[in-house]
Chains A and B, each alone.
Chain A
Amino acid sequence: MNAIEPVTLPGSNNPDMTDHVSAIALRSKAFLWWWIAVAPAALLTSILIGSILYLFYAGVGIWGIDWPVAWGFAIISYVWWIAIASGGTFISALFFLTRSEWRNSINRIAESMTLFGAACAGIYPILHLGRPWFFYWLFPYPNSMGLWPQFRSPLLWDFFAILTYVTASVLFWYLGLLPDLATLRDRAPTRTKQVVYGAMALGFRGTSGQWRHYHALYGVLAAIMAPLVCSVHSIVGLDFAGAATVGWHSTMFPPFFIFGAFLSGFATVLLLIMPLRRLLRLQRYITTRHVEVLGRLLLTSSLFVGYAYIMDAFTTYYGGEKAEITMFQEKLFGYYAGIYWATILFNVLLPQLLWFRTIRLNQLVVGLISVGVIVGMWCERYTIVVVSLHRPRLPSSYGIFHATIWDWLTLTGTAGFFVFGILMIVRLVPVISMFEMREILAPRRP
């Protein structure tokens, strides 16, 4: 398979597609592989719940964070997840605006990824707090103390950004789901499914009015989602750039973080669609073309990120601030140097293989590169948070950070929760946006 297939294989048509896709959601018994996949995911999810409960009981002291390195896994993983989440929005919103046909068959998966990526990210800021039960103090509610949150703090901007992003993603996802839910309602084999999907479809019947407003609105919302996701990531970048801390105080962070979001987003989408198209027999609609396109996007964004890394080094030495240079040396050759170089390898060097068409078409290699990118992005955040913090301006406050078992359990726990969520989506709703596919498929069987 080294000739690139079209967006949909020849002979694909609407009825077959509709039958096939809705059958996946409506089948009475789940696939065996589904059960095999869901078991560990569920286990990890329960581990997540367990470690959260213990955290609330014992306090953030159970983590590796200390005096100079006061931020740790919670923030690293938060940034990591929110970046993964954004990838989905880019595909569903940005490429909707560009009317790219290939997007129609994968935007449902991408958006679901956004949903659960954002959910995982959303947990962390609360876990991170020393007194999590007071997290609502970040919200400007009418309190008897006459107090307000401190609106100049990037963390507060972040709080609002996440709030908006999660809500918007859910609404956008659900809106996009309405017509397909209607389809499921009308094809549901059992009464229960009829009622459930029927209720969720809210009575969408595809009347002329419903369609007219639908397209008007969907376009507008897509046009909103695109800047929103950029703002969310700029603000996450500002959580760091807004501080005077060594290694953080850089005007480049907002775009830098957006590049990172592209990269990890595309990588995760690739990792989801490549197995799913096989397991769910979707090769007709998610073709090697998709893999190829995403491969190119992955390469492009990796070049962006590479540029950011170079500028990072350049500004440090060009700026010539002593503390910055000390910290950067430490980053390159110090205790944590391995993690920095892993970042470079996974995020910049390996993706360069994608210049070759044959590589782009080799799904195994593409998969490995994507995994590398996701690991690399985590390492990047580890470097930004830990390495920067462990070399503050005064040598007397130098320090070191070692993660504890609880750090790792929480991280893997959220990973499990993410997979669990995706599997639920696969089981319950159409993994391909059927009504959008109809735009590009033959209306009738040949």
Chain B
Amino acid sequence: MTLIVASFESETGLIEALPRLRGLGAVETYTPKALQGDDRTSILPLVVLIAALLGAGAGFGMQVYANTVGYPVDIGGRPEFSWPAFVPIAFEIGILSAMLAGFFGYLIVNRLPHLYDPVDEAMLMRGATCDRWCVSIRTDSPDRTHDLLRDLAAEHVEELSE
């Protein structure tokens, strides 16, 4: 296996290159902003929604329990189950759990923190977070890859042995 990293000057360059490179091995892109035309969906919104509902439900439940079972007290002659008063806190707890779920969910789905990756060895990767459009290919046929990249007018190419 060899890991080949290449950078393109333009987004379009990379986009055109991708379908042809995919034949040669596992391809991953590294780009300063999201690539156009990537229309796969993410699970995170669903996670956030569920977390919000669970959190709000739990929060509301806690308040009902405390006021009816845990230690019921006569507060200003209000009913023990005064649900309208419980809504704000339930809402806030829902939001809180949604935020936490979203953030940590993101780390999990992307396996972060992931400080080291073999591609980091490639010098040209430093441009990926600025204005270069990089791609990495794990392939058994480095030569063909090199040829292809040359045809695609890749700006730089680096080969990293693993």
Contacts and interface: CB of A to CB of B under 8 A. Distances in A.
Interface in B33-73: 33-35, 38, 40-42, 44-45, 48, 52, 62-63, 66-67, 70-71
Interface stretch (A32-40, A212-220, A316-324): A212-220
Most B CB atoms within 10 A — which of A18, A211, A215?
A: A211
A203 interface: yes
- The SS class assigned to the B binding surface is helix
A211 B31 contact: yes
Interface residues of B, number: 62
B95 A186 contact: no
A183 interface: yes
Interface in A177-216: 179, 182-183, 185-187, 198-199, 202-216
B128 A206 contact: yes
Given A140-B62, A209-B110, A211-B35, A199 B115 contact: yes
Contacts of A175: 103, 106
Contacts of A101: none
B90 to A, nearest CB: 9
A157 B32 CA distance: 42
Most B CB atoms within 10 A — which of A171, A172, A205?
A: A205
A255 to B, nearest CB: 15
A225 B119 CA distance: 36
Nearest to A13: B131
Given A146-B71, A217-B48, A151 B117 contact: no
Interface string B89-105: 10111011011101101
Contact of A161 (B28, B92, B114): B92
Nearest to B9: A444
Interface stretch (A71-79, A373-381, A435-443): A435-443
- The SS class assigned to the A binding surface is helix
A301 interface: no
A156 B129 contact: no
Contacts of A140: 62, 66
Nearest to A203: B114
Contacts of A238: 88
Q: How large is the interface on A (under 10, 10 to 19, 20 to 34, 35 or more residues)?
A: 35 or more
A164 interface: yes
A221 interface: yes
A73 to B, nearest CB: 26
Contact of A151 (B11, B85, B100): B85
A140 B115 CA distance: 38
Contacts of A241: none
Contacts of B33: 206, 211, 435, 438-439
B67 A208 contact: no
A14 interface: yes
Contacts of B38: 208, 211-212
A298 to B, nearest CB: 28
A168 B100 CA distance: 8
B126 interface: yes
A331 B55 CA distance: 43
A185 B120 CA distance: 12
Contacts, number: 177
Most A CB atoms within 10 A — which of B30, B75, B99, B112?
A: B99
Most A CB atoms within 10 A — which of B38, B66, B89?
A: B89
A224 B95 contact: yes
A217 B44 contact: yes
A203 B118 CA distance: 12
Interface in B1-40: 9-11, 28-35, 38, 40
A163 interface: yes
Contacts of B30: 205-207
B32 A186 contact: no
B108 to A, nearest CB: 10
Contacts of B34: 211-212, 214-215
B42 A216 contact: yes
A205 B119 contact: yes
B96 A151 contact: no
Given A204-B112, A215-B34, A152 B85 contact: yes
Most A CB atoms within 10 A — which of B41, B67, B100, B103?
A: B103
A148 B71 contact: yes
Interface string A124-145: 0000000000000000100000
Given A217-B106, A228-B95, A15 B130 contact: yes
Nearest 4 CB-CB pairings of A with B: A216-B42, A203-B114, A211-B34, A148-B66
24 contacts: A15-B131, A148-B66, A150-B75, A151-B63, A152-B76, A157-B88, A160-B88, A161-B88, A168-B96, A179-B129, A186-B125, A186-B130, A203-B117, A208-B29, A209-B110, A211-B34, A212-B34, A213-B44, A213-B106, A217-B44, A220-B44, A224-B99, A231-B88, A438-B33
Interface of A: 14-15, 18, 140, 146-148, 150-152, 156-157, 160-161, 163-164, 167-168, 171-172, 174-175, 179, 182-183, 185-187, 198-199, 202-217, 219-221, 224, 227-228, 231, 235, 238, 435, 438-439, 443-444
Given A171-B102, A211-B31, 20 more contacts: A18-B130, A151-B89, A152-B82, A152-B85, A161-B88, A164-B93, A182-B129, A186-B127, A205-B119, A207-B28, A207-B29, A213-B44, A213-B110, A220-B102, A221-B48, A231-B92, A435-B33, A439-B33, A444-B9, A444-B131
